[in-house]
Amino acid sequence: MLADITRHSTAEWMVQMARNSNDPMEGNLDRQRYALHDRDGKFCAAFREILRSNGVRPLMLPPHSPNLNAFAERWVRSVKEECLAKFIPFGEPSLRRALNEFVDHYHGERNHQGKENKLLFQRESIQSGPVHCRERLGGLLKYYVRAA
């Protein structure tokens, strides 16, 4: 899940992010069973209750356990190396656009070695036809698809 970006998050802001993530039209937790979070006080009871009310089980990480969040750490490494290290954002809107494009690319267009080189959320399956190169962020992110 990629929530909105702020310089100074609060518990109220996190509650709003939980509402946004559970939105039926634009939320990104619609088919998720769990949401991992650390022990920051911003992940308050209201935040966890909103997740539970939509069928998502919030899981708080144990104290002093930096290695338990390996999936999140790997995602941060991927976004840094594959996107942000090659991109100079000019202001917050530019950073938001780059991150949103990367999230769409990461989940729908980029193959994953840990998942047998498959896409996480394949949009369509076309078995024949010529292969075309598609790009995001001006060619920074490339992927290949078969034309129908």
CA atoms of 19 and 30, how far apart (whole Å): 12
Q: Is residue 119 within 8 Å of residue 111, measured between CB atoms?
A: yes
pLDDT in tens, 44-70: 999 999 989 888 899 988 888 777 777
pLDDT in tens, 24-45: 666 667 778 888 888 888 999 9
pLDDT in tens, 104-121: 888 777 776 667 767 677
pTM equals 0.55
Q: Give residue 89's pLDDT.
A: 86
Give φ, ψ of 123 to 5 degrees: -75, -40
CA atoms of 105 and 75, how far apart (whole Å): 13
Contacts within 8 Å (CB) and 24+ apart, 70-79: 71/36, 72/36, 75/106, 78/106, 79/106
CA atoms of 79 and 57, how far apart (whole Å): 26
Q: Is residue 105 within 8 Å of residue 52, measured between CB atoms?
A: no
pLDDT in tens, 71-117: 778 888 989 988 888 888 898 899 988 999 888 888 777 776 667 76
Instruction: Taking residues 7-31, report their average pLDDT.
Output: 80
